[in-house]
Structure 1
Amino acid sequence: MTALIELERVLYIEDEPDIRLVAEIALRQVGGLNVVTCAGGEEGLGLICDFMPQLVILDVMMPGMDGPQILLKLRDMPEFRETPVVFITAKVQPDEVEQFKRLGAADVISKPFNPMTLANDVRAIWAKSHD
């Protein structure tokens, strides 16, 4: 059995500036992760190859390109075909969560999230995706 590679680089695409700021603080300062945040899909896809995140967090509902559309674009990129993607959304009914997982999401985090546990929640999803 190989040892789990530690999660270090996370890309978070979120259109709401306040949520983006809280998540960045939660992941970087509380969680010790290297985080890049973007306000939308085009921006995120434009810098993803330079940053090479190990895990991507996507808001589901965004203007322009939504989270599921971004996920499909990531899966078309060979270097991100296997990268765990986590949706973050207020839409967490069981059928909605199942739909996101069928699209290929590793998991779903509900909004509002707890800033003190967000990094640990993300690390748990990372570990589960490498079982």
Structure 2
Amino acid sequence: MSKRVLVVDDEADIRAVIQGCLEEIAGWEVMIADSGEQGLQIAAQEQLDGILMDVSMPGMGGLEALQKLQQNPQTRTIPVALLTAKVLPEEQKLFASLGIVGLIMKPFDPMILVDLVASVFGWES
């Protein structure tokens, strides 16, 4: 079953790698946003199965965008996984309290990215 995933990241190369992996390996439909604001707009308009969101972006970061997603009845039920380069122990507690489905650490191995994403969203086939 094909999944629809939104990737929100301000780095074009990261977006391209994730989109390429998920579309070519998994055959999922991938939408792209380069900012938290754009991610919120797409999430409100599209039927999504999951969102991969970068934590640190200029303007509205991933945590602020996540809060806004959770406050909106239209987007509240979309599972969100955070993309992050560094996680401090105190941040792990914070992330756990945010209601996200998981973390994907950067840099990630493109060869296992599909499995990583499927695993955090609970999409094991």
Q: Does the TM-score normalized on the shorter chain lie above 0.5?
A: yes
- Equivalent-residue separation in structure 2 for 1:103 and 1:127 (angstroms): 18
CA distance in structure 2 between the partners assigned to 1:7 and 1:95 by the alignment: 36
Q: How many residues align?
A: 123
Is the aligned partner of 1:15 residue 2:10?
Answer: yes
Shift of residue 110, structure 1, vs aligned partner:
0.4
Provide the aligned C-alpha RMSD in A: 1.6
Q: 1:7 touches 1:54 (CA, 8 Å); kept in 2? A: no
User: Could you list the runs of 4 or more consecutive aligned residues of structure 1 that deviate by over 3 angstroms after TM superposition?
Assistant: none
**5+ residue gaps in structure 2?**
none
Shift of 1:76: 1.0
1:118 matched to which residue of 2?
113
> Are the aligned partners of 1:15 and 1:39 in contact in 2 as well (CA < 8 Å)?
yes
Indicate if the aligned counterparts of 2:2 and 2:29 stay in contact, CA closer than 8 A.
Answer: no
> Is the alpha carbon distance of 1:7 and 1:72 closer, same or farther for their aligned partners in structure 2, counting shifts above 3 Å?
farther
Secondary structure of the 2:100 match is coil
After TM superposition, the structure 1 = structure 2 runs for residues 67-78 of structure 1, keeping only pairs within 5 Å, are: 67-78=62-73
* Worse-matched range after superposition: 26-35 or 12-21: 26-35
The share of aligned pairs that are identical, in percent, is 38
- Measured after TM superposition, the shift of residue 7 of structure 1 is 6.1
- TM-score normalised according to structure 2 size: 0.90
Output the amino acid matched with 2:113.
L
